Homo-oligomer: A and B are copies of this chain.
Amino acid sequence: MSSVAALPERLLLGSGPSPVPERVLRALAQPTIGHLDPAFGALMDEVAAGLRTVFGTENRVAIPVSGTGSAGMEAMVANFVRPGDRVVCGVHGLFGERMADELARHGADVVRVEAEWGRALDREALTAAVAAGDTAALFVVHAETSTGVAQPLDGLADACREAGALFLLDCVTSLAGHPLSLDESGVDAAFSGTQKCLNAPPGLAPFTANARALERVDDGRVGSWYFDLSLVLAYWRDADGAGGDAGKPARAYHHTAPINLIYALAEALEIVQEEGLDARWKRHATAHETLRRALAELGFERLAPEGEQLHPLLAVRVPEGVDEAEVRTALLTEDGIEISGGLGPLAGKVWRIGVMGEGARAEAQHRLVVALAKRLGQPSTAALAALADGWR
């Protein structure tokens, strides 16, 4: 046996991956079948429908890109952005920086609109930047996983429509955990990840695009063969043309899909459907606020101001006198609980605590608070009372 069986169990309360339910692991381990098997094709349709629901869209195209969340970013840029395009990119954390980097590699003329890490971007600054030139696209991160900030989206689509620009979104950490409806917000294309609020293993990037975005796809001239939507969608297209352009052949071989990961995603989407998206959003909001109050009792204050918080990720300032790396490591290796440290300018200054799917439950938070109070040498009474109160 490899050492896989000896791996420790962890309670995943970091920035992702999040706790994967037993049901999803069982689905993952169903025997592999062929990527062109009609039985798999039926499952692909089920996944596409489930993705439409969580994205809040009626787009025909809703697929898992065959790679982790960042592969979704790469697919978005490869298909919708051309070298020389003026692209306004909101940067208020690591994932905005990442997109700005990717856009520059792709030859785009990147116009950065920045905010302090830990704050949302200013809407006026974004819309003014879009209007200030011949803008091909606006890109923003809905859920900044590096700071725990949720970006308000209102007003952005109108500015893009007026400028003839696409509105592109990273919703890796918000999908199925924080209120989001792409169609209501007028988003043209978005990507996400499976290892956050969907509670599936990492390895797929849920992706959607509307007809307006797909017009930009330049058949056969997209720089990337692997991510070329004109090819990928020929595989995801069903007999009715859903999942791709109607009128072209269905299920044409492109690359071998990551079959078992798609099994896991199907089961994860089914779990979301059983709970209901609204109820799931509400549970995440409750879980976030409850944990915030409990951690405040232990001396941790949230980085994001009220109104800008991202429910699935609570980033808190580590108080003076706490050796953040030591405590975080002890939580992992001694208590089996993973939380995440800060990135970039926030390294050593914040913890990022996941409130994602099965991690947004009273039991998980109770275990974290008890362990953390013990590691800090503090009484847990007030924090546990806050938890009990919030989950009442």
Q: Which residues of A contact B (CB under 8 A)?
A: 1-5, 7-10, 12, 14, 16-17, 19-20, 23, 25-35, 37-40, 42-43, 46, 66-71, 73-74, 98, 101-102, 105-106, 193, 195, 201-203, 221-227, 253, 255-261, 263-264, 266-267, 269-270, 332-333, 338, 343
Contact = CB atoms under 8 A, between A and B. Distances in A.
Contacts of A37: 8, 10, 332, 338
A94 to B, nearest CB: 9
Contact of A226 (B71, B193, B260, B270): B71
Contact of A17 (B12, B71, B201, B259): B259
B66 A68 contact: yes
A203 B258 contact: yes
Given A32-B202, A260-B261, 11 more contacts: A1-B270, A3-B43, A7-B30, A7-B40, A7-B43, A10-B37, A19-B32, A20-B31, A25-B29, A28-B29, A66-B203
Q: How many copies does the complex hold?
A: 2
Contact of A225 (B27, B32, B102, B257): B102
A384 B387 CA distance: 68
A302 B341 CA distance: 58
A31 B25 contact: yes
B27 A5 contact: yes
A189 to B, nearest CB: 17
B105 A203 contact: no
Given A37-B332, A105-B222, A332-B37, A202 B256 contact: yes
Contacts of A201: 32, 258-261
A266 B203 contact: no
A28 B28 contact: yes
5 contacts: A3-B42, A7-B30, A37-B332, A38-B333, A201-B259
Contacts of A264: 260
In the complex, the 9 A-B pairs of residues with the closest C-beta atoms, listed nearest first: A203-B258, A29-B29, A2-B270, A201-B260, A2-B266, A70-B255, A102-B225, A74-B226, A4-B27
A66 B67 contact: yes
Nearest to A172: B256
A26 B29 contact: yes
A257 B98 CA distance: 17
B269 A2 contact: yes
Nearest to A8: B39
Nearest to A27: B4
Contacts of A224: 74, 105, 224
Contacts of A35: 17, 202
